[in-house]
Amino acid sequence: MTTPIGIGIISFAHGHSQAYCRRMTTYDDVRLVSCWDDNETRGREAAGAYGMRYTPHLEEVLNDPAIQGVIVTCETNRHAEMVVAAAEAGKDILCQKPMALTLEDCDLMADAADRAGVKFMMAYQMRHDPSNQRIKEVVESGVLGRISLLRRRHCIPVLFSDSFVNGTTAWHIDPEKNMGMFMDDASHATDFIHWVMGRPISVMAEIENTITTVAPDDCGVAIYKYANGAMVVLLNSSVTLAGENTTEIYGDQGVLIQNYDDAVSTHLAPPDGVALKLYTRDHPEWRDLGVPIPASHGERIAGVPRSFIDCLKNDAEPSVTAEDGRVSVEMVLGAYQSAKEGRRVTFPPAGHQDRSRR
**pLDDT (0 to 100) of residue 357:** 33
Q: Is 241 helix (H, G, I), strand (E, B) or coil?
A: coil
DSSP bridge partners of 149: 231, 250
Torsional sign, CA 86, 91, 35, 181: positive
The DSSP secondary structure of 243-302, one letter per residue, reads --EEEEEEESSEEEEEES-STTTGGG--TT--SEEEEESSS-S-EE--PPPPS-HHHHHH
**pLDDT (0 to 100) of residue 29:** 96
**pLDDT (0 to 100) of residue 303:** 87
Give the pLDDT confidence of 136-165 residue by residue, as tens digits.
999 999 999 999 999 999 999 999 999 999
Alpha-carbon distance of 79 to 13, in angstroms, equals 12
Give the pLDDT confidence of 289-337 residue by residue, as tens digits.
999 998 888 888 888 999 999 999 999 999 999 999 999 999 999 999 9
Which segments of the chain have a pLDDT < 70?
1, 350-358
**pLDDT (0 to 100) of residue 300:** 84
Closest CA to 350 of 137, 191, 142, 194: 194
The DSSP secondary structure of 95-158, one letter per residue, reads EESS--SSHHHHHHHHHHHHHHT--EEEE-GGGG-HHHHHHHHHHHHTTT-SEEEEEEEEE--G
**pTM (2 d.p.):** 0.95
Domains of the chain by range and CATH? 5-124+301-319 (3.40.50.720), 127-295+331-345 (3.30.360.10)
Q: Is 206 helix (H, G, I), strand (E, B) or coil?
A: strand
Torsional sign, CA 300, 235, 211, 13: positive
